[in-house]
Structure 1
């Protein structure tokens, strides 16, 4: 079969599209005929080998996809051929409770937690053999590009806001990187939860998209100090919650944007993971710093129900053949556009 493959860690020239062995299906796995897949920033980190990722090459990347069940392992009972499914990538080595039961209640807190596509072979291929426990049914009528691009970013943002930061209606939420995958999902989720949403971005076009997603206030961080803008917009109070996956570049301003007793929730650090801790501000203002990674199966199912219903929707910035995955990486690295980058197996085009 044809698949995206990394030949080594490095720049975009290590990305190829070509023949790889057909996947074998274990007893607790499902073989999925992939109809659409999506990239995430972790695909860039995986390709670069950061932080400390040690892979066997060639490596098939990819942690988002959706498609049609082609075959099932002997122990699988939840799915059968022709079922429509979406995939989420959080897993543990110990798998589920029996052949196709759900993984542990919170696989992200397990000592053997890993991400399919980052730590093991991924799903950017014509076919993918994945644990049945990592699949969610997709209703008829849901577009494949939507189904193949929602699970990771909406699951991550849902866990951050609803389960970790525990946002409440009426609260004020600042979302950084509102043009990216997690960012545009977080804007929609905070708006859906009844919050007043503040979004940062680097251009008028990106901020217009953030407003369309539900942001009440937009701030161009290239032109203004976003923390000062938040101070003005909230009459000096600050926001209740900051959603940050940017890291060093925004950390200090994020703490300055919070009201006393506010919550800073992070799922990544694309500009670096070692800012000054800001401990004096944290203890004096009694701030909570909350880490969040991926989501549980139940949390992914919760938010995908809203996606399937059309209440939340992944924005698609580009759709490319899998053979043009290097260009997809370029779009993400150069922060071109707004939302998700989708790749389709060439045989589906």
Structure 2
């Protein structure tokens, strides 16, 4: 089978052995796979002497084969991949043994993948293949950050620095679905306009004076993923006693902030990573109930993966970038 691998310090498409299911496993013939920012970092986390690893965390396809003991799925069923490995029940933090698909396990940027039947869910019928392929990792990340950790409720105002990321598009949609107000930022006028089109109530320039721009707003919750460049600015506009949830750091991941001001303001800070299967299933029900569709920015073929990586690295996208694996 054809696969995109990182091998001996190089990212390339090559032939890999077809996978065979063991007991409790399924083989999925992938149609599309979703590109995530995590995929950009994996080559930098591996040594140049390591053998081929198929990267990729998100994908959707059709079950081609099942191993002994699998009774929950049949050959021919359409499924999505749950990349949050071995995290089944909602909990305050991931359990021991949790990993994200795509390192150290082989991932989704291949014509086929073998994995535990516990890691696949039926594809929502109302979604296209491209939409389903970009669903699990960013939507689950946004859902847990917003609901489980952020405890958002109708009437709250949520502030999201960086409107163009895949997770941000889901956060906008999910918050609006329950009747919250959403304010986002972006340096790009085009991305600000796109954020308003999918439901954001207000979109401001990242380079503007946030305190001035938001002086008439009460920010109940901040969903942060940028890091040093925006963290303190986000904290500055958050109401006293408000909540800030951070799930990533696209800029520097170490920050300093005024601890005395923090505890006097009685702010609440939460870390969040991915989510459990329980939350994934809740999220899928939430999306179907509200007819929510993922935002797909651009689709590339597997052979064009390098161009897709470069496009994502330049932060040009609004929403998700997809790799077409097969017809």
TM-score, normalising length from structure 2? Answer: 0.95
Match of 2:117 among 132, 140, 157: 132
**1:167-190 per-position Cα deviation (integer Å, ceiling 9, x unaligned):** 011111001221111111111111
Shift of 1:279: 1.4
* Aligned pairs, number: 327
In structure 1, stretches of 5+ residues that fail to align are 96-102
CA distance 1:226–1:140, shift in 2 (3 Å): same
Whole-angstrom CA distance in 2 between matches of 1:266 and 1:53:
29
Whole-angstrom CA distance in 1 between matches of 2:121 and 2:184:
30
Q: Report the secondary structure of 2:282's partner residue.
A: helix
Shift of 1:215: 0.7
Give 1:120's aligned residue: 105
C-alpha contact (below 8 Å) 1:53/1:119 kept by paired residues: no
Instruction: Please tell me whether residue 63 in structure 1 is matched to residue 53 in structure 2.
Output: no
TM-score, normalising length from structure 1? Answer: 0.89
Q: Report the secondary structure of 1:275's partner residue.
A: coil
Q: Report the secondary structure of 2:53's partner residue.
A: coil
Shift of 1:227: 3.9
Match of 1:48 among 41, 44, 49: 44
Give 2:128's aligned residue: 143
C-alpha contact (below 8 Å) 2:8/2:47 kept by paired residues: no
Give 2:245's aligned residue: 265
C-alpha contact (below 8 Å) 2:7/2:48 kept by paired residues: no
C-alpha contact (below 8 Å) 2:27/2:66 kept by paired residues: yes
Give 1:99's aligned residue: none
**1:71-110 per-position Cα deviation (integer Å, ceiling 9, x unaligned):** 1110211101010100111113xx8xxxxxxx35549521
Whole-angstrom CA distance in 2 between matches of 1:41 and 1:21:
27
Q: Report the secondary structure of 1:153's partner residue.
A: helix
Matches within 5 A, 1:1-349: 1-9=1-9, 14-49=10-45, 56-92=50-86, 103-106=88-91, 109-222=94-207, 224-230=208-214, 232-234=215-217, 238-308=218-288, 311-345=291-325, 347-348=326-327
CA distance 1:259–1:141, shift in 2 (3 Å): closer
Shift of 1:55: 9.2
In structure 2, stretches of 5+ residues that fail to align are none
CA-atom RMSD, angstroms?
1.9
CA distance 1:119–1:245, shift in 2 (3 Å): farther
**1:269-315 per-position Cα deviation (integer Å, ceiling 9, x unaligned):** 11021010331221011001001110111211121234345632211
Shift of 1:337: 2.4
C-alpha contact (below 8 Å) 2:7/2:53 kept by paired residues: yes
CA distance 1:256–1:3, shift in 2 (3 Å): same
Q: Report the secondary structure of 2:321's partner residue.
A: strand
CA distance 1:313–1:2, shift in 2 (3 Å): same
C-alpha contact (below 8 Å) 2:227/2:253 kept by paired residues: yes
Whole-angstrom CA distance in 2 between matches of 1:88 and 1:134:
5
Q: Report the secondary structure of 1:336's partner residue.
A: coil
Shift of 1:195: 0.8
**1:113-143 per-position Cα deviation (integer Å, ceiling 9, x unaligned):** 1111133211110001111111111144531
